[in-house]
Amino acid sequence: MGYSVVHVDDLPPEGPGGAVRFVRRHLGVGAFGINWFEIPPNAEGREHDEHESQQEEVNVIIAGSGIYRIEGEDVPVRRGSVLRFDPETTRVPIGGPEGLTMIAVGARRGSYDPRGPF
């Protein structure tokens, strides 16, 4: 099959606190990781880094607001914020009063072959 499609509302809430929708697994993506996270209002996500996997990660805030605690520093985020993390960087998302919804994309450094100046 040349494509796959899912709707996030059809994916079961999984992971810590049911905050993760495992998009990559349900789409069958093998080139990079991509997942949907819904952090409830005033709740703290899971503190982690990607040292073991060596994935560089980008998180795109698509709804809500809150803070991202990065190496102990609180960084305010809101819809439209885009964050990039080195694999060794410790971080934890914390939902604001309306919660925080984001998409996380990750892959090992060097696995992407840029095409052109884009």
- CATH of residue 23: 2.60.120.10
Evaluate whether residue 71 is within a structural domain.
yes
Which whole number is the average pLDDT over 47-64? 95
Number of structural domains (the chain) is 1
Residues 86 and 53 sit within 8 Å (Cβ to Cβ):
no
Q: What is the pTM of this model?
A: 0.90
89 within some domain: yes
- Give me the mean pLDDT over the 31-43 stretch: 96
Q: What is the pLDDT of residue 110?
A: 81
Residue 25 has pLDDT above 90, yes or no: yes
Containing H/E element for 82? strand 82-85
Quote the DSSP letter at residue 10.
Answer: G
Q: Is residue 14 part of a domain?
A: no
Residue 8 reports pLDDT greater than 80:
yes
Asked if residue 43 belongs to a domain, the reply is yes
Q: Measuring CA to CA, how many Å separate 90 from each of 41, 50, 69, 93, 104?
A: 22, 8, 8, 11, 15
Residue 105 inside a domain? The answer is no
pLDDT at 118 over 80: no
In this predicted structure, what is the pLDDT of residue 15?
87
7 part of a folded domain = no
Asked if the structure places residue 61 within a domain, the reply is yes
Give CA–CA dist 74/19, Å, rounded. Answer: 21
Q: 46 is written with which tokens?
A: 């899971």
Quote the pLDDT of residue 21. Answer: 96
Q: Which residues form the domain of 24?
A: 19-94
Q: Give one word for 111, left, alpha or beta, with left for phi > 0 and alpha for psi -120 to 50.
A: alpha
User: Is 102 within a domain?
Assistant: no
What share of the chain has pLDDT > 70, as a percent? 98
pLDDT category, 117, cuts 50, 70, 90? confident
Helices then strands, each counted (H, E), the chain: 1, 6
- pLDDT in the model for residue 1: 60
